[in-house]
Chains A and B, each alone.
Chain A
Amino acid sequence: QQQVKQSPQSLIVQKGGISIINCAYENTAFDYFPWYQQFPGKGPALLIAIRPDVSEKKEGRFTISFNKSAKQFSLHIMDSQPGDSATYFCAALGAWGGSQGNLIFGKGTKLSVKP
């Protein structure tokens, strides 16, 4: 119930294409959904985040789509660039039981953007 399932595990996209990464959750206590970008050997960096009161949030080429009824959310990267090649993690944060405020991460998606 505390899992966040992320897919695909890896993704290859041509430069200029759209990259789409999907996540699903079960626990309705989650109320904050961030996406992190991680380059090899570096710490994850917050990319964009959304709360369940909105269905979409856009920041530059990055968009989160959120479907509360389906308990799914996705990251869309428009006009993907080779510099976007990284591992992306979705996460969910919420208050439940004794784990109040802890982030639950998906297993990550390794994105490769081919020039």
Chain B
Amino acid sequence: DGGITQSPKYLFRKEGQNVTLSCEQNLNHDAMYWYRQDPGQGLRLIYYSQIVNDFQKGDIAEGYSVSREKKESFPLTVTSAQKNPTAFYLCASSIDHTDTQYFGPGTRLTVL
């Protein structure tokens, strides 16, 4: 089965804690992305990676960090510096940065 998987589906965090969201793809895509979605809003880009061992900040990178050590994996860490982390987080991938993006099922993060 080809596709993008995200885990966990739901995540609860206490204030002051860092959490890491997983994103894996077996589509052999070079590019991967993280978006944040808030109610009534479009998707806002957090970070993106066009190739292994390289990533760039998106529009709202503050309080987040990523790594891209393997082509298949692009984990996102939500740090305690992110002031309003409760949101729906979406991972996407594409063949390259100019092509169609395909999304995973999302992780809903709630800060208690």
Contact = CB atoms under 8 A, between A and B. Distances in A.
B98 A107 contact: no
Contact of B106 (A6, A42, A102): A42
Contact of A93 (B6, B42, B90, B98): B98
Contact of B97 (A43, A49, A101): A101
A43 B104 contact: yes
Interface residues of B, number: 24
Interface string B39-61: 01111010010100000101000
A74 to B, nearest CB: 17
B103 interface: yes
Contact of A49 (B42, B100, B106): B100
Contacts of A106: 42
Interface in A34-63: 34, 36, 41-46, 49
Interface of A: 6, 9, 32, 34, 36, 41-46, 49, 89, 93, 95, 98, 100-103, 105-108
